[in-house]
Structure 1
């Protein structure tokens, strides 16, 4: 069988035949040294340089494994790591998979999002939530338009004046006036039999009570003057008894309806009674009085009411105040009482009871007066800033 030359063996990676002989000789030499070793382990002998460095390293490791050290000292390895190039790290860098990097970045992003949310909303709201629920906005509901009460009162008041005015000497005037406020083709007589005479002195529309289908009834108080018929002259007398008149208040409930954007009367009204007395008034708390201030300003109040009745209030009212004077024919009898309310400051209020003479009679009335302090370089004084009737 032909043998391969050195060049062929190197190309094919085959060992040299002489290497096997040298390897066997080294093994026999290692066994002899192991048998003659003392209890202390001597340093391994330096092996001659082998043709193959890997075979030398394997023989050394095998010799160390067969020799047992006498002391528990750590075995010293004769193998040294291969020398590294200058400036290189003693480890290798592995490329990280793209999925792992994406998951790590996603986790970091989620963590920072939680931190930002805690800063905005507050950590306390996470631990102790707010128990109060937000108020729900009420859903707007459609409401029916308000009933035209003002128009209903005006129509009912006009109708009441015409309805309660009649004169048997001129019945057509009443019929024509009622036709203007009634629906077309309505009965303008409205139940009147054509007799008697009656006038309306005053009309006062009142409450409007609504019903279905646009209907309502309006309460109207009417002051009427009834003229009684002249009495026939008695036998033996030349003149008849003159006619008498009587004034009285009566009430009417006038039916109306809203149609075609307006309010009209739907039919004949009903006469109702008038109350003979009003309800009981509640007990009102009287303001605490300031007697000292009332004495200081009594002359101011008296002077004002004299000017009030005399027609010139500009000189007794505070700068900027406007108090129209009373009409002519009113005479001041006097200020019966003046009571000032307790208080402090430059604006004070009080109550005055004043007696006037009007129409041949005297009448007592009540006023609320507002005073203000007016100061100048020389002195200061109180003047009337406003006045109105009643105690409210």
Structure 2
């Protein structure tokens, strides 16, 4: 078997340059003819050139195209950008956004409930006029250093306080609160009085609240009382006649049990309805309305007459009913009860 005198392919590939030719002497030294074939010089010149070019192309890789070089460059740049972003996040993490602080008025921290309680007692003592010693002792309960002259009272006449309530509290800052108290007074017990007077008058009481307690901060003063705000009368519900008739007996039983001191058995599961003390009163259902609606909850209105001793008091209520399923079907039970102050828009 003889070795082929030229490579398997002598075909020239366009676009790839041929390797530089070596001289005959170096070629003969590097590649001795071991097969005894004819020496290259005896062959045709064109055939020798073609054989040398084909043999060199078998061992050299094709040069990358322009598109391949561009893609490689883009890939390298993308990898570099991602690596730089990772390093920045590791060594310089994003700071957590901080919510903007809101400056609340100092008056929000004032203990208005404590101030109102002290002010009401102070207002009652301020207008309870009987004798100098009793007056001074009364105002000293809430005022650490009242004036020795009785806070403005000249010692004449007599007044009795029948009732009182807090009208409003006005916080000036975290420690100071002005409280307006309404006081009902009469001079009916004053034997020297030519005429009898009775009525409500306002007393403005300055109060200071400390860590220990609330105290009167200065001399009270008489003031007027604002007129109560006018409100619309309660609208009656549009009646669902079928549910109203079906639930009237259960509602009456609930009212009786509630007034007797325990309505748990007739209330919806989870309902929290406080009952009066046992034996204090009894009540009857005078009017019952269940409003129209959908679903398992309905609004209802009830008029109830309470009897305490020999006195009767009629009250109006708004209730929330819940449909509770049982083994024999379902029934409407009371979930919530409050005063009937809601009005339709």
What TM-score comes out, normalization by structure 1 length? 0.55
The match for 1:173 is 134
Matched, 1:209 2:209: no
Matched, 1:189 2:139: no
Residues 106, 285 of structure 1: alpha-carbon distance in 2 compared, 3 angstrom cutoff: farther
The answer to whether the Cα contact below 8 Å between 2:119 and 2:205 also exists between their aligned partners in 1 is yes
CA offset digits 1:329-354 (Å, max 9, x no partner):
64545422323341222x43311122
Cα deviation for residue 315 of structure 1 reads 4.3
The answer to whether the Cα contact below 8 Å between 1:179 and 1:186 also exists between their aligned partners in 2 is no
**Rg larger in 1 or in 2?**
1
Q: Distance in 2 between matches of 1:391 and 1:213?
A: 34
The answer to whether the Cα contact below 8 Å between 2:112 and 2:177 also exists between their aligned partners in 1 is no
CA offset digits 1:334-391 (Å, max 9, x no partner):
422323341222x433111223445655443211223334444345433333322224
Q: 1:113 aligns with which of 65, 68, 80?
A: 80
The answer to whether the Cα contact below 8 Å between 1:336 and 1:355 also exists between their aligned partners in 2 is no
Q: Spell out the pairing of 1:295-310 with structure 2 (5 A cutoff).
A: 295-310=245-260
The match for 2:287 is 336
Residues 290, 136 of structure 1: alpha-carbon distance in 2 compared, 3 angstrom cutoff: same
Q: Secondary structure at the match of 2:254?
A: helix
User: Cα RMSD over matched residues?
Assistant: 4.3
Matched, 1:153 2:113: no
Higher relative contact order (CA 8 A, sep 6+): 2
Q: Distance in 2 between matches of 1:325 and 1:111?
A: 75
Cα deviation for residue 218 of structure 1 reads 1.4
Residues 260, 300 of structure 1: alpha-carbon distance in 2 compared, 3 angstrom cutoff: closer
Q: Spell out the pairing of 1:369-384 with structure 2 (5 A cutoff).
A: 369-384=319-334
The match for 2:224 is 273
The answer to whether the Cα contact below 8 Å between 1:371 and 1:383 also exists between their aligned partners in 2 is yes
Matched, 1:163 2:130: no
Residues 208, 339 of structure 1: alpha-carbon distance in 2 compared, 3 angstrom cutoff: same
The match for 1:389 is 339
Q: Secondary structure at the match of 2:134?
A: helix
Q: Distance in 2 between matches of 1:338 and 1:157?
A: 41
Q: Distance in 2 between matches of 1:351 and 1:254?
A: 41
Residues 366, 213 of structure 1: alpha-carbon distance in 2 compared, 3 angstrom cutoff: closer
The answer to whether the Cα contact below 8 Å between 2:160 and 2:189 also exists between their aligned partners in 1 is no
Q: Secondary structure at the match of 1:197?
A: coil
Residues 245, 371 of structure 1: alpha-carbon distance in 2 compared, 3 angstrom cutoff: farther
The answer to whether the Cα contact below 8 Å between 2:237 and 2:289 also exists between their aligned partners in 1 is no
Q: 1:140 aligns with which of 98, 101, 120?
A: 101
Q: Distance in 2 between matches of 1:287 and 1:81?
A: 120
Q: Distance in 2 between matches of 1:107 and 1:309?
A: 86
Cα deviation for residue 190 of structure 1 reads 0.7
Q: Secondary structure at the match of 1:297?
A: helix
The match for 2:48 is none
Q: 1:83 aligns with which of 26, 30, 34?
A: 26
Q: Which runs of 5+ in 1 are unaligned?
A: 1-78, 91-104, 120-134, 233-242
Residues 82, 261 of structure 1: alpha-carbon distance in 2 compared, 3 angstrom cutoff: farther
The answer to whether the Cα contact below 8 Å between 2:159 and 2:189 also exists between their aligned partners in 1 is no
The answer to whether the Cα contact below 8 Å between 1:218 and 1:256 also exists between their aligned partners in 2 is yes
Cα deviation for residue 285 of structure 1 reads 7.7
The match for 2:5 is none
CA offset digits 1:295-354 (Å, max 9, x no partner):
211121122223333445344334554544445464545422323341222x43311122
Q: Secondary structure at the match of 2:332?
A: strand
Cα deviation for residue 221 of structure 1 reads 1.7
Cα deviation for residue 256 of structure 1 reads 3.1
Cα deviation for residue 175 of structure 1 reads 0.9
Q: Secondary structure at the match of 1:174?
A: helix
CA offset digits 1:95-121 (Å, max 9, x no partner):
xxxxxxxxxx999854522367899xx
